Structure formats: structure tokens, C-alpha cells
Amino acid sequence: MALRVLVYSDDRNTREQVRLALGRRPAQDLPEIEYLECATAPAVVRAVDAHAKGAKRIDLLVLDGEAVPLGGMGLARQLKDEVYHCPPVLVLVARPQDAWLATWSRADAAVAAPVDPVALAETATTLLRSAHLAA
């Protein structure tokens, strides 16, 4: 069964960078990844609601902290507050110094943008392994 990764950004180039960095299978011990791309916060909320209701599982959320009008950090906090068993959240932050904001958002991890493919793949793989083992 494929792992489902939701990628949220209002910038399609950012979504593409995430997909390219993670690829089809970021680690040999994990199943392939199926991506769900969202360009708006309401689309993310609908997808996570479906996950919470058992309709469509999501194994990882990758949220762009610089998305407009609602950034990934605010969205992460909202989802962590409102969704029971919220999937793990990885936030893309503009600067490494913004990692403290990711802590405030209750994100499980943060990676600096622009996307460093190695750092993103390593961090996402750690979160995906945890989600995969829990399932």
C-alpha cells in the first residue's frame, strides 16, 4: 500500500520541488509515495477531515510556511488543535532561524526553504517511517 503525502503550497514550483526531492520512494524500506497536492488551505482541511473520518489516509503533511493567504505554520497549529490523530506535519520555513515558529505551530519537523532535497528526504523519511510503523 502506497504512502500518501499531502503537499500544500500556493506556489506550484514549491510543490514540485517537494515531489522531486522525495521522489517515488525516499527509502528502500518504505512503500512508494502517492502525492496529493493542495494549493489552498481549505483543500488541506477537507483532505485532513477525510483522513480523520477514515475515508482517505494521509501519512505526512508537508506545509509551506510561506503560503498565502494562510501559511503552513498557522495551518499546522489549526490542524494539530482540531484533528484527533492528525498526521505528522513537516513545515517548510523561510529561514533556519524560523524553526522556533515551527515549534509553536506544533509541527513534528521543519526544513528550511528553498528545499534542500537531502534534508527534506531525510526528515520526511523519519516521519514516514514512524507513520508506517504505527499503521
Kindly report, residue by residue over 12-45, the tens digit of the pLDDT.
999 999 999 999 998 999 999 999 999 999 999 9
C-alpha torsion angle, residues 41, 43, 44, 50 (rounded to 10): 150
As a whole number of angstroms, the longest Cα–Cα distance in the chain is 37
Residue 122 exposed, middle or buried by CB count within 10 Å (0-12, 13-18, 19+): middle
Q: What is the pTM of this model?
A: 0.95
Q: Which of 71, 57, 70, 81 is nearest to 110 (CA)?
A: 71
In the chain, the domains with their CATH numbers are: 3-116 (3.40.50.2300)
Q: Which of 77, 68, 80 is nearest to 14 (CA)?
A: 68
Residue 34 cell numbers, joined? 502517492
Contact, 127 vs 108, CB < 8 A? yes
Contact, 102 vs 65, CB < 8 A? yes
- Chunked into runs of 10 residues, the chain (135 residues) has average pLDDT values of 95 97 92 97 96 90 96 96 94 83 90 90 94 69
Which pLDDT belongs to residue 54? 85
